[in-house]
Amino acid sequence: MKIRFWGVRGSIPFPGPNTITYGGNTTCIEVRTDANDLIILDAGSGIFPLAQTLFKELPLTCHIFITHTHWDHIQGLPFFIPTFIPGNTIHIHGAFDPINQGDLREVLSRQMEYCYFPVRETELKATIHYLTLRDRQVIKVGNATVSNLLMNHPVLNYAYRIDCNGKSICFTGDHEPLFNIYDPEDEDCDEYQSFMDQKNQGIIDFMRGVDVLIADTSYTRDEYPQKRGWGHGTYDSSIALARQIGARQLYFTHHEPTRSDRDLERVFQEALSRHPRQPGDPEFHLAQEGPVIEL
């Protein structure tokens, strides 16, 4: 399989002279199977430059897996040019909206209403199939399997694991490690701790042994206390997860948008210094737009 990051920022795109090295687009990851099937993880602003590379493959078939429907993960979808071209087939997968009880198509169509965008979803020319996923559902894409697991974020967010010919990738989407919302003296504390333990074990089992873990790493250890409950991880939590599951490589992504390339490298090195390399540790990388990663 091959992986290419087209967007590595969280919250809002921030292109400019201070983000040239790692990139300023929001989340989008291209995955190619051994048979060159196209899987796209999330449709942040990075899906627009990805689209510019796909014209030579028309008519195109691709599968887009949306981790969750916060804007930084879907804002590029209206600009995904293949949806405007007849003959293309686009499969879009993701979760439903538990607040408004809308399916995936309803959620995504809202950002293409006339008050937000000049072209409505019903005017798109490609054949578009929407699949609202259940937790732990498995989808076949050519010779690859894509499975999902519900994670911890303020809206329904799926991690996606892709397995193909003995190689595997897992992307957390946006995820904050579970913490006990009860004080130790509260009567519900132990019960909630038991729930946490079960959920954490489920995450470890789902991700165990992947070749590449791509993890939401928005904050530093010092930033996290002010951002607790916002649904994002830290360098320390991502390293801990990668070690628990036995990942071979860990890519930190969803970079804080205001963090310059220089600051990103600084906080990365500070995190590594807190976690000296141990036998069996994965290789640690900052996700970067552009380079192709081959498994």
Classify burial at 106, counting beta carbons within 10 Å of its beta carbon; exposed 0-12, middle 13-18, buried 19 or more: middle
From first to last of its 295 residues, the chain has per-residue pLDDT tens of: 999 999 999 999 999 999 999 999 999 999 999 999 999 999 999 999 999 999 999 999 999 999 999 999 999 999 999 999 999 999 999 998 887 778 999 999 999 999 999 999 999 999 999 999 999 999 999 999 999 999 999 999 999 999 999 999 999 999 999 999 999 999 899 999 999 999 999 999 999 999 999 999 999 999 999 999 999 999 999 999 999 999 999 999 999 999 999 999 999 999 999 999 999 999 999 999 999 999 9
Cα–Cα nearest to 30, from 6, 14, 10, 13: 6
Residues 120, 113: contact at Cβ < 8 Å? yes
CB atoms within 10 A of CB 100: 9
Please tell me the predicted confidence (pLDDT) of residue 258: 94
**The 3-state secondary structure of the chain, one letter per residue:** CEEEEEECECCCCCCCCCCCCCCCCECEEEEECCCCCEEEECCCCCHHHHHCCCHHHCCCEEEEECCCCCHHHHCCHHHCHHHHCCCCEEEEEECCECCCCECHHHHHHHCCCCCCCCCCHHHCCCEEEEEECCCCCEEEECCEEEEEEECCCCCCCEEEEEEECCEEEEECCCCCCCCCCCCCCCCCHHHHHHHHHHHHHHHHHHHCCCCEEEEECCECCCCHHHHCCCCCCEHHHHHHHHHHHCCCEEEEECECCCCCHHHHHHHHHHHHHHCCCCCCCCEEEECCECCEEEC
Domain borders along the chain are 2-294
Partners of 73 in beta bridges: none
Please tell me the predicted confidence (pLDDT) of residue 154: 92
Please tell me the predicted confidence (pLDDT) of residue 97: 84
Please tell me the predicted confidence (pLDDT) of residue 102: 83
38: left (phi over 0), alpha (psi -120 to 50) or beta: beta
Alpha-carbon distance 127 to 146, whole Å? 21
Cα–Cα nearest to 47, from 12, 16, 7, 8: 7
Please tell me the predicted confidence (pLDDT) of residue 96: 87
Please tell me the predicted confidence (pLDDT) of residue 205: 98
Residues 288, 8: contact at Cβ < 8 Å? yes
CATH of domain 2-294: 3.60.15.10
Residues 32, 2: contact at Cβ < 8 Å? yes
Beginning with the edge strand found earlier in the chain, give each strand of the sheet holding 144-150 in spatial order: 138-141, 144-150, 158-164, 167-171, 212-216, 249-253, 283-286
